[in-house]
Structure 1
C-alpha cells in the first residue's frame, strides 16, 4: 500500500496568523493552489482519501482534480492542537492543548489505522492534513535530534509504502 500526504491549501491563518478565525477557510491563493493540486508526478485517483475534518482540508480536496473510491473524514488527522482558534470546528468546541506524549500517542494510533487499512487491500491512500501533523508523522531522530518533513501549502508527496 502506498501512502501519500498533502497539506491543505493556504488558509487565512497561514496568510495572517493574527486572523485566528475558527475553522479558517482557504484564501483565494489557497483555492488556486487546490485547483492546481493534481500533479502528473502523483496519482490522481486513490483507493481512499482520508481527511482532517477542518474546512481548509475538506475544501482543498473538493477543489482538486483528485478522486477516490472511498472518502473518510477522520479526527486523527486534525492539526495538532496548540491553542489556535483556527483549529476549532466551532465556537464552543474545547480541545486540550496536546503535549508531546499525546502527540506520540496520536501518531501511534494513525499508524495502527494505516495498518488496518492495509489489511483491507487498499492499494493507495491520500492523507489530507496539516503541516504540524505531517512533520510529526514523518519525524525521526538522529543522534537525539528530530527531523521531519515540512510541506508547503497544497504540496503532495509520497510518504511510504507499507
Structure 2
C-alpha cells in the first residue's frame, strides 16, 4: 500500500509566486510538521511557490527528507486577466472541465499535470509521500479520483488542509486528515 498525503499550503500573505507565509502560517507549518512527523514520510514534492515550499520545509528539516520542487504543482491560472466575476468563472470550470478562459488553463489540463505527479510518486520506491500545492489544483486532483468533488469542496478547503490518498491494489481511499 502507498500513501500520498496532499497538503494545501498554510496561510500566506497573498497569491503571488513569492508570497511568504503569515506569522500564523509559519506557526501552522510547524504544527503541520509535528502532525506529519510520525507518518513515515520518505518523499516530499512541492510547488515552487514560496508559500508551498515554506509550508513543508519544517517537516523536511525535522525528518531529514529533501524537498523536490516540481513546476507542475503550481496553482492553476484561471484567466490571464483580473476578472471581477472570477468565482463564478471558476464554478463553471468544475462543470465543464474543458472550459478555458483567455490566458488561462482548463480544469482538465491542470488536473492532468497534477495527476502525473501523483502517478510518478506511485511508481517510485517511496511508501509515504507528501505533495504540497494550492487550493484549486488540489481540488482538481481530488476530483480526478472522486468526481463528486467540485466548486463547493474547493470553497471548503482551509489553509492548510491535508488529504490522505491510500492506494491499495485497485482500491483508493481518500480521507481528510487535517483542517484548520
Same fold (TM over 0.5): yes
Superposition deviation, residue 2 in structure 1: 0.8
* Equivalent position of 2:77 in the other structure: 81
Q: Tell me if 1:151 matches 2:147.
A: no
Superposition deviation, residue 33 in structure 1: 0.8
Q: State whether residues 47 and 71 of structure 2, in contact with CA within 8 Å, keep that contact through their aligned partners in structure 1.
A: yes
Q: TM-score, normalised by structure 1?
A: 0.70
Q: What is the aligned residue count?
A: 141
- Supply the distance in 2 between the matched residues of 1:152 and 1:133 (Cα, whole angstroms): 14
Choose between structure 1 and 2: higher helix proportion: 2
Out of 109, 122, 125, the residue aligned to residue 121 of structure 1 is 125
Q: TM-score, normalised by structure 2?
A: 0.64
* Equivalent position of 2:63 in the other structure: 67
Superposition deviation, residue 148 in structure 1: 4.5
Structure 2 unaligned regions, length at least 5: 82-102, 169-180
1:41-120 equivalence runs, <5 A? 43-64=38-59, 67=63, 69-82=65-78, 96-99=103-106, 103-120=107-124
Q: State whether residues 136 and 148 of structure 1, in contact with CA within 8 Å, keep that contact through their aligned partners in structure 2.
A: no
- Supply the distance in 1 between the matched residues of 2:121 and 2:147 (Cα, whole angstroms): 26
Pair 1:63–1:116, CA change in 2 (3 A): closer
- Supply the distance in 2 between the matched residues of 1:138 and 1:66 (Cα, whole angstroms): 28
- Supply the distance in 1 between the matched residues of 2:79 and 2:64 (Cα, whole angstroms): 33
Pair 1:156–1:118, CA change in 2 (3 A): same
What is the Cα-based RMSD across aligned positions, in Å?
2.9
Q: State whether residues 9 and 26 of structure 1, in contact with CA within 8 Å, keep that contact through their aligned partners in structure 2.
A: yes
Superposition deviation, residue 36 in structure 1: 1.0
Superposition deviation, residue 154 in structure 1: 2.1
Pair 1:7–1:66, CA change in 2 (3 A): farther
Superposition deviation, residue 118 in structure 1: 2.5
- Supply the distance in 1 between the matched residues of 2:130 and 2:31 (Cα, whole angstroms): 16
Pair 1:62–1:116, CA change in 2 (3 A): closer
Higher relative contact order (CA 8 A, sep 6+): 1
- Supply the distance in 1 between the matched residues of 2:153 and 2:161 (Cα, whole angstroms): 15
Structure 1 unaligned regions, length at least 5: 14-19, 86-95
Q: Tell me if 1:27 matches 2:31.
A: no
